[in-house]
Homo-oligomer: A and B are copies of this chain.
C-alpha cells in the first residue's frame, strides 16, 4: 500500500469517533461569514451537535471568540468594518490560543482579496480550506493543514496526505455548503487532538452526508434540507459504507 494511502485507511473510523465527540462535547464555533450563508451554517453546526455564534460586530466579536472553542473566517463580503472585525477576532484567537480555519473565498477574484487572504494566512490558521484556484495564489507554511477542495478533496500536512472522493455536485447549487464545510472543520478541530485527522474527518463527514442526502432529494432545495438531516443522524456504519478515501 502506498504511503499516502496509509493516512486514510483509518479515516472512516476516526471520523465517526470525532463526530461522536462533537455530538457529546458540543464545541462552540464562532463564524465570520457573509449574511447570505449565516443561517445554513448555524443550522448545519447545530445539526452535528456544535454550538454556533455569528456576530461580526466589532463591539462584540472579541467577547464571542473568547467563549468559542474554534473560529472560522470566511472572506465573504469584504468591507472596511468586516476587515476590522476579522482582525479583532484573530487578536483574541491568538491571545486565548483558539484554533481557526481560513476560507479565502474568491481570493482569486481580485489582487486586493488575495493580498488580504495572504495577510490572514500569515497570522497562522490551523487549517486553510480553499479550492485549487485559490490555493495557487497563496503561500502556505508547512505547519498549516491545507484542504484543497475539488472533484476529489485533498488534505495535506507536511508529508501526510489524504484524498476524499465523496461529495455531490448539488453542493454547488446550495449557497453556503462550502462555508459550512469550513465551519464543520472548525468544530472537528476544536474537539480533535490531530488537526490533520480532524480536517480530513470533517471533509469525509460532509462528503458522505452529501451522497446520502442525494439519495432521497427531489432537487437542490430538498438536497439542502436532507444534507442537514443526514448530518444529524449520520452513523459510523453510514460513514464506513459510503467513504471513498485514500
Q: Which residues of A contact B (CB under 8 A)?
A: 34-40, 42-43, 46-47, 52, 54-60, 63, 77-80, 109-110, 172-176, 217-222, 224-233
**Within the complex, which residue of B38, B43, B224 is in contact with A220, where a contact is CB–CB below 8 Å?**
B43
Q: List 10 A-B contacts (CB under 8 A).
A: A35-B35, A43-B174, A46-B174, A47-B173, A47-B219, A57-B77, A57-B79, A58-B79, A59-B78, A221-B227
A178 → B minimal CB distance (Å): 13
Q: Are B39 and A54 in contact (CB under 8 A)?
A: no
State in angstroms the CA–CA spacing of A40 and B227 once bound together.
17
A32 → B minimal CB distance (Å): 12
Q: Which residue of B lies closest to A31 (CB)?
A: B36
A144 → B minimal CB distance (Å): 26
Q: Are B222 and A176 in contact (CB under 8 A)?
A: no
Starting from the known contacts A34-B55, A52-B175, 18 additional A-B residue pairs (CB-CB under 8 Å) come to A36-B38, A36-B39, A37-B39, A43-B220, A46-B173, A46-B175, A55-B77, A58-B79, A63-B110, A173-B232, A218-B229, A218-B233, A219-B228, A219-B231, A219-B233, A220-B229, A221-B227, A225-B225
Q: Which residue of B lies closest to A227 (CB)?
A: B221
A116 → B minimal CB distance (Å): 11
A153 → B minimal CB distance (Å): 21
A124 → B minimal CB distance (Å): 26
A61 → B minimal CB distance (Å): 10
Across the interface, which residues of B come within 8 angstroms of A56, CB to CB?
Answer: 77
Q: Which residue of B lies closest to A176 (CB)?
A: B39
Q: Which residue of B lies closest to A217 (CB)?
A: B229
Across the interface, which residues of B come within 8 angstroms of A173, CB to CB?
Answer: 43, 46-47, 232
State in angstroms the CA–CA spacing of A227 and B219 once bound together.
10
Q: Which residue of B lies closest to A40 (CB)?
A: B39
State in angstroms the CA–CA spacing of A221 and B228 once bound together.
6
